[in-house]
Amino acid sequence: MVEERLELEVKQIFECVKYKKNFLLSGGAGSGKTYSLVQVIRKAINDNPLAKVSCVTYTNAAVKEITERVNHPNLTVSTIHDFLWDSIKIYQRDLKRELINLINDEYSTIISPDGTVDMTYFDALKDGIQYKEYSLIREGIVSHDEVLVLANVMFKNYSLLCDILKDKYRYVFIDEYQDTSPLVVEIFLEHLKKSKKESIIGFFGDAMQSIYEGGIGDLKKYIESGMVVEIQKKQNRRNPELVIELANKLRTDGLIQEPSIDPNAPNMIDGKVKKGSVKFLYSENRNLEEIKSTAYFKDWDFNNSKQTKELYLTHNLIAARAGFPSLMEIYDKDPIIGLKNEVRNKIKKENILINESDSFDQIVDEVALRNKKKQLKKDLIIQDPKLNELYNRLKDKPYSEVKKIYLDKESLIDDKKQDEDDENKKGSNRDPLIKHLFKIQSTVHLYKEKNYNEFIRKTEYPLTSVKNKKEIREIISEFDNFSNKTIEDVIEYADKNLLCRKDDNYNRFIQENDYLYSRIREVRYREFQNLYDYLEGFTPFSTQHKIKGAEFQNVFVLLDNGKWNNFNFDYLFSDTREKESVYLRTKKIFYVCCTRAKENLVVFFHNPNEKIINQAISWFGEENVHKI
């Protein structure tokens, strides 16, 4: 690579490398951090042809992007969990010992269903300790969270492991560092110091975009101690001038962005940065369709998910708008599962001795007797005919069976695309029932899009004659009439007509999760069709967390907390600091939302008070704040 073509910041990074200093490249939204990361990887390999480089990232999508940009045998790109597991998985004897120690440590987050265990606990394991999408500690299976804790302890206690990692990789570059667990940063900046061998650790990211729970947020203490040298990348290649000005008012770390000096940057026209537009709208009216019909959204195409996005804080806020409220309510707000969790927590907290073979109803009544002053939800549930009917589905089942029922919205809505061209990630958390429904609807979609080769690969329906082709056309056309059919009806129809057969994974899941299926099968299929469109990126809707890293011409941000206590837009615009962590977290999510806009940004606040309006005027400018 020609030296003169390197970015200034990349040159500064290799000054750090020259003096064997770990570094951090801090760059605001739209600064081109990934481009810098790619330049650094290429130069590291060019300067040291025999050196191995590891790049660890937060998502599988980032793994794919970086691998496509730099294809070299000396480069390994992986998620942080895969990187750490690959580093420790062969040391099974030590893994078993440390996992047992963690189980027996009262301060550890890793808990065995058998309580305290002895050192022979894992001796009978055929496959040793394994890393999977789920955790079953008794069987030696650990998931994402346990891998981080386990890896941290392994690198802390075994200096040879630190030697091996440094021998293997001359450079380790960590992308989106702000979302990385403090346990991971501790491995790279503290535990690896035990090894005298040389290596360079480089971090890339933006403290203002640390919006996920459990991330380290920033490296302030390591920068102040001199362990890491910070290099700021101030240019902004994405946003128009007015969005950059707004974003700079929101930043809390002293990094002030400025338009790119590159005339070919996406936010430049004829050598000047685009002006763009920012608007803060407020109203007593909550009817978003009426609001979107105003002149402020002129020329916006809400049917074009590649150009326009509506950003909400939670999937729950989107569910009603996108048309799948019943499915979301089942997975996220099932009242009977809420009661089960309440009962289970009271049993654990108060050490209540029970017979788990007793019915769920018996256990609920037994726990209720011990909590006379604190009424259980059961009394409220049985007074509601609909909820009472749900309770009756479970009340006679053994408590040992009911306590294992687990519903989580990630099993429904995991793996959200921003548009149809996005890649699916590996290891989706969708459960087998939802995956089966996706197979059905995606098969229908392939046929309607005339992608017949892929359709044939996915279905068992024979297409060997003109008669077959006519029959399958009629079978698929029926789906246009299935909006009011139940999900169960459609599953049976798809199976009967060989469009999508019920496989072993589906059958096993239904058998083991009959309560969930008893609820899902009654839902209208139209809801699942709407969910499919949402998750596959055919709608303008997205959560504010899922949008990070993306960019769109037009961005519409809805400031609604959605009853989520981790965020509060009233706090943000009122400058209320009584809960500083909530205030800062909300400011960061708002920063991320605003900086997605390449042209036009509109923010809507329902019925704000005068203090909120004044803050909006301060940030957006009086001429950009409008009551509608």
Kindly provide the b/e burial profile for residues 57-71, where b requires at least 16 CB atoms within 10 angstroms of the residue's own CB: bbbbebbebbbeebe
Residues near 99 by beta carbon (within 8 Å), at least 6 away in sequence? 110, 122, 129, 137, 140, 142, 146, 150
| Phi, psi for residue 203 in degrees, rounded to 5 | -115, 145
The annotation places the binding site at 27-34
SS3 of residue 351 by DSSP: coil
Token pair for residue 411?
């099993």
104: amino acid identity, one letter: N
Residue that is written with structure tokens 């030296």 in the block:
3
Token pair for residue 368?
């209720």
**Strand pairing category for 277-283 and 625-627:** parallel
Torsion of CA 455, 457, 462, 463, to 10 degrees: 50
Q: Decide: 526 and 480 in contact? Cβ < 8 Å.
A: no
| Distance, CA of 362 to CA of 397 (rounded, Å) | 10
| Distance, CA of 616 to CA of 501 (rounded, Å) | 55
CB atoms within 10 A of CB 539: 20
CB atoms within 10 A of CB 529: 20
Q: Decide: 58 and 79 in contact? Cβ < 8 Å.
A: yes
CB atoms within 10 A of CB 586: 23
CB atoms within 10 A of CB 505: 13
The annotation places the binding site for ATP at 27-34
Residues near 611 by beta carbon (within 8 Å), at least 6 away in sequence? 573, 574, 575
| Distance, CA of 190 to CA of 569 (rounded, Å) | 37
| Distance, CA of 514 to CA of 411 (rounded, Å) | 16
| Distance, CA of 494 to CA of 500 (rounded, Å) | 5
Work out the angle at residue 559's Cα, subtended by the Cα atoms of residues 558 and 565, and round it to the nearest 5 degrees.
130
| Residue whose C-alpha is closest to residue 392's, from 404, 410, 378 | 378
| H-state helical runs in 158-197 | 159-168, 182-189
| Distance, CA of 565 to CA of 331 (rounded, Å) | 20
